[in-house]
Structure 1
Amino acid sequence: MLRDGLRSLELLWASLRRILSESSEKGSSMLFHQTLPKMPTSKAPPAFYRLRDVIRITSLSRSTIYRRVAEGRFPSPIHLSGRASGWPSSALQHWIDDPEGYRAGTNPT
């Protein structure tokens, strides 16, 4: 019984290799599924970063970010719409340049 199962797998594998070789000869690289075209990536940073991005970039927790905002040691988020808010990339970059010396309301020099 095991020998029959192995033989079936060998036949299946041989069929798959044949199908793949035929499709590659035809120039088709999409045999079983379609892939979406890759979108061009922009080199410009986004205008605003959402909280999950700020957490990832700064390695600070949500509570630490909001505590530092209250203390004036981290940029305040900007209300975008409804329940959405984000941090301007310029303010976040100013904090990244000098995290210990950052004070809200100071302009980068």
Structure 2
Amino acid sequence: MCADLEFWKLKAVVQKCGLSKTEIYRRIAEGRFPAAHSYGGEGARRFWLSTEIEEWQRQILAGETPTYTPE
């Protein structure tokens, strides 16, 4: 695993990307943003991998259209 890998909560993703919570979830549903992962069973906590968000940012800056499997 990468030493730079971090688990980010939604608040951190909003701050890093400059998108609102609503826009993040809209893009996830459209397959244009990485979906959250979860852990913890029934009371699952959701998080994003920092490496996936950084790759999304790289693609945006490169003028590419990121695509993901919609949730």
Structure 2 match to 1:88? 49
Match of 1:49 in 2: 8
Kindly report the root-mean-square deviation, in angstroms, between the aligned alpha carbons of the 2 structures.
1.6
Please, what TM-score do these two structures have when normalized by structure 2? Answer: 0.76
Provide structure 2 residue ranges, at least 5 long, that are not aligned to the other structure: none
Which residues of structure 1 form unaligned runs of 5+?
1-43
The letter of the residue matching 1:101 is T
Residue correspondence of structure 1 range 4-43 to structure 2 within 5 A: none
| More contact order relative to length (CA 8 Å, sep ≥ 6) | 2
**Letter of the structure 2 residue corresponding to residue 49 of structure 1:** W
> Which has the greater radius of gyration?
1
Contact 2:9 / 2:46 at 8 angstroms: preserved in 1? Answer: yes
Report how many aligned residue pairs link the two structures. 62
Map Cα deviations across residues 46-73 of structure 1 (whole Å, 9 max, x no partner): 5211000000000100000000000000
TM-score, normalised with respect to structure 1: 0.51
The sequence identity of aligned pairs, in percent, is 34
Q: Is the CA contact 1:77–1:87 (under 8 Å) kept in the aligned structure 2?
A: yes
